[in-house]
Amino acid sequence: MTNERSEGQAAMLTMVGVSHRNAPLSVRERFAISGEALPDVRHEVAERFGSGAIVATCNRLELYVPGEHEPGELAGFLCEAAGADPELAERYLLPRRDAEAVSHLYAVAAGIDSMVIGESEILGQVRSSFAATVAAGADTALLSRLFHTAIRLGRRARTETAIGHGALSISSIAAQQARELTADPAGAAVLVVGAGEAGRLAAASLVDHGIGSIAVSNRTESRAEALAEELGGRSVPYGSLGAELSAADVVIAATDAPEPVLNSGRVAGALVRREGAPQLIIDIGVPRACDPGIAAIPGVTYRDIDDLQEIAATHAHARAAEVQAVERLVEEETGRFLEWWEHLQVAPTIAALSERAEQLRQGELERTLRRLDLDEGERERVEAMTKALVRRILHDPIAALRERGDRDVYVDAVRHLFRLDEPADPPAAP
């Protein structure tokens, strides 16, 4: 879909973002903003731009701001918020405007821009992103319609196509890898580091498939206890993580800490205490929860989120036909959104034109009726005739404003021809 605007046309939306589509994990983790910091960042969006929505997941960081903005300004803001090198912005923070930005968010909500095609978690993340935008006072009518239609489209995609049937997710792929790469899944001890949504989903999938035992550790002990209770496991104090690590056959690391919580020294020490027993570590954190150097430790099998992408790519290939079906829905809904936006732009001119015509009609009617000796019924018939005449005269100009693709040209012409930006002339004296 084209992203061009004719000269003078009002800008609708500016967006910049980075995702797994265009950046490796080593770059995406530089743009990660912790869940604790996001509320303040969203308030800063409202202060800096007046309005704007951030969509932040493990594989993307995107900022949508209504109106005309320099993409470099939005990119600079995200760099500041994430503490990223501004030089990375030029290479990886891709700009989109207007129709392209709208269709992109629709594709995200529909699950066809995800690393795992059709995954359902993203729809809830889009919904939560807009709820947080509202809470920060950074929403507008445009953002409200944009996100609500995106959420509605996400539901349509999953009910009208098979894009979500049997869909995987990063968390479920992590659990799948844990089952496949562990010699005895039913007897395996699993340690989950991080009690966020990604860790919870991965651990829940393992429990559903009969994994041996689950231990949960988190910086906030109450969250670890709540998740452990939900999973039928046990919580581990964060300070005892090192000792627990040596007992774990599988580690699911899913924190959003700015620095790795599992480094090579800690993992190597755990392997010594394991007396040669292998260990699988699956890191689905962004930024990574583990030092990638642990992959070189003998006995450790290490997978990060990008390592899981090969499995996701195989899944995507099998869903190519469904992706095409969803893309048609995205195009359809994007067209509807643009029609709404264009109508929103032309509506004030139509209202002003109708109001100007009504002022002229009433002025001339009053002057004429003062000169005529008419009874009440005759006066009503004359008034009805003038109203009908004005409607007939305005019908074609208003239809052209609503229907023509070059509406902005017509809007300018109508406002000039009917002097809609000037005060109305006083009615002529009788």
In the block, residue with structure tokens 């000039």: 416
**Does the active-site annotation cover 290?**
no
State the Cα torsion 193-308-15-197 to the nearest 10°. Answer: -30
Say how far apart CA 268 and CA 290 lie, in whole Å. Answer: 13
Residue 320, token pair as written in the block: 């190519």
What are the start-end ranges of the H helices in 190-220?
A: 197-208
Say if residues 283 and 191 touch (Cβ distance below 8 Å). Answer: no
Say how far apart CA 116 and CA 229 lie, in whole Å. Answer: 29
Say if residues 140 and 66 touch (Cβ distance below 8 Å). Answer: yes
How many Å from the N-terminal Cα to the C-terminal Cα in the chain?
57
CB count, 10 Å around CB of 336?
12
* DSSP assignment of 289-356: SB-GGGGGSTTEEEEETTTTHHHHHHHHHTTHHHHHHHHHHHHHHHHHHHHHHHHHHHHHHHHHHHHH
Q: Given 25, 58, 211, 227, which residue is catalytic?
A: 58
Backbone angles phi and psi of 384, in degrees to 5: -60, -40
Residue type for position 142: L
Say if residues 234 and 215 touch (Cβ distance below 8 Å). Answer: yes
Residue 27, token pair as written in the block: 């770059």
Say how far apart CA 38 and CA 366 lie, in whole Å. Answer: 61
CB count, 10 Å around CB of 213?
17
The order of strands in the sheet holding 13-19 is: 53-57, 60-66, 13-19, 94-97
Backbone angles phi and psi of 319, in degrees to 5: -110, 20
Say how far apart CA 252 and CA 269 lie, in whole Å. Answer: 18
Query: Which residues form the catalytic set?
Result: 58
